[in-house]
Amino acid sequence: MLEEVRERLSTGGELSRLEQSGVLHALQVLIENAIGKARQMIKSRGEPVPVSVYDAFTALARLKIIAESDLPAWNAAIGLRNRIVHEYMNIDMDRVLELVRSDRHRFVTDFLLSPIQGP
């Protein structure tokens, strides 16, 4: 769905408010799935699973599953998910659509599609 939105936005198309809500929901679900995978990867290595999602991705970096240089992008994605869920009235939709237009959410999809490495 986000790929279709990216294509439409790149050709100058616009989205209705309903479609914009769909984009937010798709991003929320995408990021929540990545959070779930991160927690599962930590657990499968016998490591304690942090309560904080931010700490979970820090643990993935410590375990060399993701690059430490990727943490700022993960922190931003987690922050976006939190804003979608808890502060939906304060979302800058132009910034969200630019994120999709420029494919800056792709790293989350790539993480989800990557094979789970063994312990």
**Cα(20)–Cα(37) distance, integer angstroms:** 26
Tokens of residue 69, six digits: 């240089």
Q: DSSP 3-state assignment of 6?
A: helix
Name the band, by pLDDT with cuts 50, 70 and 90, for residue 71.
Answer: very high
d(CA 102, CA 63): 29
Per-residue pLDDT reduced to its tens digit, 21-33: 999 999 999 999 9
pLDDT at residue 34, rounded to an integer: 98
Q: What is the pLDDT of residue 94?
A: 94
Cα distance between residue 46 and residue 24, in whole Å: 34
Q: What's the rounded Cα separation, in Å, for the pair 33 and 20?
A: 20
Quote the distance between the C-alpha of residue 13 and its chain's center.
24
pLDDT of residue 101 exceeding 60:
yes
Confidence check: pLDDT of 118 > 60: no
Distance CA 39, CA 22 (A): 26
Asked whether the predicted pLDDT for residue 117 surpasses 90, the reply is: no
Tell me: pLDDT of 116 over 80. no
Report in angstroms the alpha-carbon separations of 48 from 37, 52, 58, 60. 14, 12, 13, 12
| pTM of the complete model | 0.91
Domains of the chain as residue ranges with CATH? 2-113 (1.20.120)
